[in-house]
Structure 1
């Protein structure tokens, strides 16, 4: 496969840096269940405004620090409409937050509680398993979210956060509770994505691109790999990144295969990391997945961030990664992203 050829070529380069390479193996198998029951209905969703108390605290902080710009803003536009248009693509020199802004919030979940891995049919799912029933329910679920938010609610700048409900007071999910998606309106005065010389996800000549690109999990089939790339985080944070191979900026711009493959690849990635590291916990777990839009992004290219608990990520590194993979992660951690001239900002 073309992408894996690139990985193999990069591996041979990095291997010359690493000495005494050791091989890692795994004999355990992570058991996952595949839901093949009837189609899930169109999801319920609720909407609300965030607490005014939080905005009052932000207002108090700005006032104490001498920022009185809110007076001019409120006098000239007492009832701003934040939902009708996306923020322009330029970079503000100074960030300003409107103390009167209360973000709108929406929550979506399947009517039948379901974990994400079961919702996509398990890591080995193909459409031939059930004549596309699971494929269609996944696509319809996420299409309903984008239609509701962008067309009905007229929001183009928002945070997209997918989590699985937990019965514990920590950030690790309980796989028995099911997943949900929260959409929160972004502050309209937030910075739009910074313009850069090249797109990190598209520029194959970027060193950051080369060192952060990952091979696909063994369970990933061609219909998934032709749609998306899998990456380390360029800043070496505890997460994995999935981006469409096409330069796309919104989930609503994805075709059906791209939507389904994005979330299937996400669970395949966590499942393989969990399995090959012989993790002691059952099932897959993650802190959350973010897929932000408009000015809620830092990069223009659509990217799904799979956030992993720091302890779990360290476990993956220690017990699941070979020397070559660890070396590439160290190179990223040493700040190659900041030194990569191909990713310089455009002033």
Structure 2
């Protein structure tokens, strides 16, 4: 009797065969990389290529697109915690955690989208780099992680265009290279697993590397953020928003600017 696991695996294998058709050896997505291994909270996929190799071979968009296609479209799983784990020289593991989705509450509706609103002092300080399609940030609570968000206000990784997704992963690699540090894991929450509506990826970095590479480089910037957080412990975003009418997600906006988007 076919199980859910067998059905899941068959669909991944079929999709992989379609992807490999007409592609050169160096740009193939091997069907083995798309076999899900069940664990308590969901499924995990093992890729023998490292994160860097996926990007260098221009396979990152294709690989993650296939995983999302089956998860969201074929299996109708929209609430999940997506986690990338570095396996060193052994490649990459991608986990989809979804079995406890009913225990998640999802994002709370807010007047503003923190990632779109650049009119508050905290967002200005947290921003490290602004690229054409992505932004690199400090974590709002200054934990040892970098945050990458798409410039365009989207809520799911699968909502990205092909070019946006290619650039998203490329910008992630470039940011890590520029900061001179490795990563331990990367997480993207979807649906009920989210805390905010705007898609964001958290890049977790070893504490020692964070101290050596990030903390030293941005010492003054981090001090300014710490001072700001101390002054407004309860809601620094609320306190330092200067013109929330310009934010698409603000309920305060008037009819005159109703047609504006988050990036305006």
What band does the TM-score fall into relative to the shorter chain?
A: 0.7 to 0.9
- 1:5-84 aligned at under 5 Å gives the runs 38-42=26-30, 43-50=33-40
Instruction: Give the distance between the partners of 1:267 and 1:226, measured in 2 at CA.
Output: 15
Instruction: Give the distance between the partners of 1:333 and 1:253, measured in 2 at CA.
Output: 33
**Other-structure match for 1:74:** none
Secondary structure of 1:41 counterpart: coil
**Other-structure match for 1:152:** 74
Secondary structure of 1:247 counterpart: coil
Instruction: Determine which of 145, 163, 167 is the counterpart of 2:85.
Output: 163
Count of aligned pairs: 215
Secondary structure of 1:188 counterpart: helix
The answer to whether 1:267 aligns with 2:173 is: yes
- The alpha-carbon deviation at position 336 of structure 1 amounts to 4.8
Instruction: Give the distance between the partners of 2:103 and 2:94, measured in 1 at CA.
Output: 24
Secondary structure of 2:28 counterpart: coil
What runs of 5+ residues in structure 2 fail to find an aligned partner?
1-23, 245-249, 252-264
* Higher share in helix: 2
- The alpha-carbon deviation at position 49 of structure 1 amounts to 4.7
Instruction: Give the distance between the partners of 2:192 and 2:206, measured in 1 at CA.
Output: 26
**Other-structure match for 2:259:** none
Secondary structure of 2:152 counterpart: coil
**Other-structure match for 1:182:** 95
- The alpha-carbon deviation at position 322 of structure 1 amounts to 5.5
Q: Is the 8 A contact 2:106 2:193 kept in 1?
A: yes
Q: Deviations over 1:242-265 (max 9, x none)?
A: 111111000110111211111111
Q: Which has the higher contact order (CA 8 A, sep 6+)?
A: 1
**Other-structure match for 2:55:** 120
Instruction: Determine which of 193, 196, 203 is the counterpart of 1:306.
Output: 203
Instruction: Determine which of 140, 143, 147 is the counterpart of 1:241.
Output: 147
Q: CA RMSD in A?
A: 2.5
Q: Deviations over 1:49-68 (max 9, x none)?
A: 51xxxxxxxxxxxxxxxxxx
Instruction: Give the distance between the partners of 1:37 and 1:311, measured in 2 at CA.
Output: 39
Q: Is the 8 A contact 1:120 1:263 kept in 2?
A: yes
Secondary structure of 2:69 counterpart: helix
**Other-structure match for 1:232:** 138
Change (3 A) 1:332 1:265: farther
Change (3 A) 1:109 1:261: farther
- The alpha-carbon deviation at position 215 of structure 1 amounts to 2.3
**Other-structure match for 2:118:** 204
